[in-house]
Amino acid sequence: MLIQPLDYALLVWFALAGLSAVYVAYDQWRNNPEPNVMRAGFVLVTLYMGPLGFLLYVLADKEPKPGTHEEFVRPLWKQGVGSTIHCVAGDATGIILAAVITASLARGYIARTTAGHGGFRRPERGLSFCTGPQSA
């Protein structure tokens, strides 16, 4: 259920991010002579950054005419963008996967260790974390 105006803005942003990623993926695999890892990198970064990633792709990697890619990416700043895209795509994907796996594992651990105890208790009441009532 959409409640705040920001919800609508986020829906528009996500739609633009999806459309941008679809275009970049199509253009990368149809018209770009780069290695597959760079193709996937630009698609992932466009998914993460939305229309800003699309703009970055168009400015730094989309060749204006077929067969001109090497000449187009010759400026040093475009090579720097390509290197950064390669690193960001891999690092961000690894961080996201690690967060998902850690959260999944932690959710089960926290549920098992705090079940029935309500978390931290004050020792002066005879209760401690995850051990239940203390005998005097």
Query: pLDDT (tens digit, 9 = 90+) per residue, 103-120?
Result: 888 776 665 655 555 555
Q: Does 13 map to a domain?
A: yes
Distance CA 121, CA 129 (A): 6
Q: Following CA atoms 101, 107, 113, 115 in sequence, which dihedral angle do they give, to the nearest 10 degrees?
A: -160
Q: Does 66 map to a domain?
A: yes
Q: Where is pLDDT greater, at 83 or 115?
A: 83
Q: Does 63 map to a domain?
A: yes
Give per-residue pLDDT as tens, 44-65. Answer: 999 999 999 999 999 988 888 8
Distance CA 94, CA 110 (A): 23
Q: Does 68 map to a domain?
A: yes
- Domain that residue 46 falls in: 5-115
Q: Are 113 and 130 in contact (CB under 8 A)?
A: yes
How many folded domains does the chain comprise? 1
Q: Does 125 map to a domain?
A: no
What does pLDDT average to over the chain?
82
pTM for the model: 0.69
Distance CA 126, CA 130 (A): 12
Q: Does 26 map to a domain?
A: yes
Q: Does 92 map to a domain?
A: yes
pLDDT of amino acid 113: 59
Q: Does 127 map to a domain?
A: no
**Taking Cα atoms as reference points, which of 59, 54, 61 lies closest to residue 21?**
54
